[in-house]
Amino acid sequence: MRSEILTILRKAGGEYISGAYLAEKLSVSRTAIWKHICALKEEGYDIDSKSRNGYRIISSPDLLTPGEINAVLATNVFGCVIKYYKTVSSTNNAAKLLAQQDAREGTIVVSEEQGNGKGRLSRCWFSPAQKGIWCSLILRPPFLPQEAPKCTLMAAVSICKAIRSLTGVQVGIKWPNDILYNGKKLVGILTEMNAEMDRINYVIIGMGINVNVTVKDMPVEIRNTATSLLQIIGKKVSRVRLLCAILAELENEYEIIKAAGFAPILEQWKKYSVTLGQKVKVIGINETFYGKAVDIDDYGALLVDTGEKIERALAGDVSIRPAEK
């Protein structure tokens, strides 16, 4: 109901809409309309009320509610269904439960905060309330399970393009799942899959994006290694517009992959990479080695020239650090 009220008020373009019109349009009483308006005001919407004139919307809070997202979203599939939380332990965990219940491809889970956000290799992800984009996307791709890790590369390219386009911030991709600015982490991506031998049941792409996080918001231990768009450009960025831009880029790249395979995405990834050409330290489960990151192969694995041979690093097995050698 509140989403419908907001839609009508937005379409009015700042003109007043009477309570009687809203009540008739939505088949409820004028008292019910008034109660919903009061609730919207409590959520942060600035709605002007004037006797005999009705209501008009002046401004909206930067919330990732379905109503706010749908007002901006320009996709055909991604974001078709939105599961919204004020707080959740992990959007990836919530998305997996939905996927197991046959949620549609393109369904997203968004939360204003996460109590136990997840990163790669069981790391935690700092997710303060209403300061970032904590979102997971459900995919049901037609390709084979061994290609699923490349969904991380697809997401990194899409997020990188959206941030550059919307804010002008020249971010880059650190293999396999981080987006950096001047060496500091801005975005983390966590891709998880459920599959059988020859088919993928679902893929969850989780995105943690530091949008309006201040230095004081951050735990002391990550202040030297993490950043946010607010810290970079000195002003707040609309989380709704950024999320919608990312979903549009993701949907476009996904359609390219289904039509032409991953090759075009891999080439874009290389263009945005801040890992290729750098000396790296590869920390694996059973071994650690140094070398120069020279390429990624057709499966998204990082190829490292150790000086003796080309080693292949898989995203799920290793961490990459800048090498001092």
In the annotated binding site for biotin, the residues are 90-92, 114, 185
Residues in the annotated binding site: 90-92, 114, 185
Let me know how long the chain is. 325
Residue 141: asked if its preceding bond is cis (omega within 30°), the reply is no
- Stated as kind and residue range, the H or E segment containing 266 is helix 263-272
Q: How far is CA 248 from CA 24, 73, 80, 254, in A?
A: 35, 8, 12, 10
Q: How far apart are CA 323 and CA 319, in angstroms?
A: 12
Paired residues of 138 in beta bridges: 204
Which residues, including other chains, have CB under 8 Å from residue 190's CB and lie 6 or more apart?
92, 118, 119, 120, 125, 177, 205, 206, 208
Is residue 25 within 8 Å of 12, Cβ to Cβ? Answer: no
Measured CA to CA, the distance from residue 272 to residue 253 in angstroms comes to 15
- Residue 151 host element (H or E): helix 150-167
Going by DSSP bridges, is the β-strand pair 310-313/302-305 parallel, antiparallel, or unpaired?
A: antiparallel
CA distance 188 to 190: 7
Beta-bridge partner residues of 312? 303
Angle formed at CA 233 by CA 44 and CA 112, multiple of 5 degrees? 35
Q: Could you write out the DSSP letters of every residue in 210-227? A: ESS--TTTS-GGGTTTB-
* CA gap 283, 54 in Å, rounded: 63
